Amino acid sequence: MLSLHADTSHVIQLAVGPAFMLAAIGGTLTVLTNRLARVNDRTIKRRDERAAADAAGQADIDAELRTLRRRAEIINAAVGCSAACAVVVCLLIGLLFLTNELGIAFDRPVAVLFMAAMLALIATYGLLLVEIFVAQRSLHPS
């Protein structure tokens, strides 16, 4: 990667990729929080409707509330993975500059942090897909 004590402009060039990754993570967090807000709004609405429903209606609402709870849990896990990814990327960028200033070889720590960030991002998108499948299945139960 870099020789010991590369110039700062080269470190900035290396940090640009992870900085763009942070922008993508921010967009993903926006999508996730919007989905969570819609799930929460729907949950509140259905809980309010449950009191006025008959027994069969309450059973249907209870089934939907269980699905909504599951979706919220999945989205919360995705938000956690996404936030962890963002923290790791920030650590990676900071480490790039810190190790350069200290004159320490940092190839391995940077590679490990980047892999950790990618795994967290993969988990985020995997959970988002699962949540989408759960939402779609709830619209068309088999």
Q: Are 54 and 25 in contact (CB under 8 A)?
A: no
Region 107-113: what's the mean pLDDT?
87
Q: What is the pLDDT of residue 2?
A: 46
Q: What are the boundaries of each domain within the chain?
A: 8-137
DSSP state at residue 42: H
Residue 6 banded pLDDT, cuts 50, 70, 90: low
Q: What is the pLDDT of residues 59-96, one digit of tens each?
A: 999 999 999 999 999 999 999 999 999 999 999 999 88
DSSP symbol at 48: H
Structure tokens at 7: 């110039």
- Under the banding of pLDDT at 50, 70 and 90, the label for residue 5 is low
Residue 121's pLDDT band (cuts 50, 70, 90): very high
> Phi and psi at residue 112, in whole multiples of 5°?
-65, -45
The answer to whether residues 87 and 12 touch, using CB atoms and an 8 Å cutoff, is no
Rounded to an integer, what distance in angstroms lies between the CA atom of residue 92 and that of residue 104?
Answer: 14
**Per-residue pLDDT averaged across 19-28, rounded?**
92
- CA-to-CA distance for 22 and 83, rounded, in angstroms? 10
